[in-house]
Copies of this chain bind each other. A is one copy, B any other.
Amino acid sequence: MSSSKPSSSRQDPGSVPAAVVNRLSMYLRELQHLLADGQETTSSSQLGHRLGFTDAQVRKDLAHFGHFGHPGIGYRCDELVGAIRRILGTDREWRVALVGVGNLGRALLGYRGFHRQGFRLVAAFDTDPAMIDTKIEGVLIYDILRLAEIVSAEQVELGLVAVPASDAQDVANQLVAAGVGGILNFAPVTLTVPSTVSKVGVDLARELEQVTFSVANRLKVDES
């Protein structure tokens, strides 16, 4: 059901700052909590307040993509959830593969949050012969040599890279060659990928360093 109703306008995304997309994701999560609490509508100020933003910020962010609110009323939670999911592309299922079934990889295989937001882990890859052809959390683990074959057969669109830093670029290259559109990288290296492929990096030590900085400097630098 791609939107055919022009009343909820699908607007030219033009060029949207990454920070806006990040906040969109936060709004979504917060709206889902509100819905779970049985709340039907919310306002830019409530939403902003819960996340530490101003009401104007919330409205401006949403205005990048269309008119989702109702003056005098606010936003209908379910409506806005739908709108944001459409914007983020998570109004459908995404087929995801994991490369690297180590410590972190196994945790990713079992992570409920992915499934909850519409991500489906359809394959995993590793080099360890003891693991190949076994299942973890219901996901079959393949020899990494079969990456191209399986990514194609399983129509994998996104890759999770959870291999050691030294292997990460090589794995990324293989994923790109196999045709994935985006990569979430957990290895502590900066990957180089073609501009046709999206990538986001998550480096856990780096995240902790953001915390130590604030603690060491005793000043508030909030984030999500």
Residues of B within 8 A of A215 (CB): 89, 157-158, 181-182, 198
A56 at the interface (CB under 8 A from B): no
Binds B, one of A73-81, A146-154, A184-192: A184-192
Docked complex: A156-211 residues within 8 A CB-CB of B: 157-158, 181-184, 188-190, 195-196, 198-211
Query: Is A63 an interface residue, CB under 8 A from the partner?
Result: no
Query: Which B residues touch A184, using CB under 8 A?
Result: 204, 207-208, 211
* Residues 99-146 of A at the B interface (beta carbon under 8 Å): 103-104, 106-108, 110-111, 113-114, 116-117, 119
Q: Supply 11 A–B pairs (Cβ within 8 Å), ascending by A.
A: A28-B209, A51-B190, A88-B209, A103-B107, A108-B204, A111-B204, A114-B204, A119-B205, A182-B211, A199-B222, A202-B224
Q: With A29-B188, A89-B217, A190-B51 in contact, do A113 and B203 touch (Cβ < 8 Å)?
A: yes
Do B224 and A198 have beta carbons less than 8 Å apart? Answer: no
- Complex alpha-carbon distance, A190 and B108, angstroms: 21
> Complex formed: what's the CA distance from A196 to B215 in Å?
8
A residues apposed to B, CB below 8 Å: 13, 15-16, 18, 21-22, 24-26, 28-30, 33, 50-52, 87-90, 94, 96, 103-104, 106-108, 110-111, 113-114, 116-117, 119, 157-158, 181-184, 188-190, 195-196, 198-224
**A223 and B111: CB pair below 8 A?**
no
Q: Say whether A207 contacts B202, CB under 8 Å.
A: yes
A18→B223 CA distance, assembly (Å) = 8
Q: Which residue of B lies closest to A106 (CB)?
A: B107
Q: Smallest Cβ distance from A199 to chain B, in angstroms?
A: 7
B residues within 8 A CB of A119?
205, 208
Closest beta carbon of chain B to A82's beta carbon, Å: 15
A118 to B100, CA, bound (A): 24
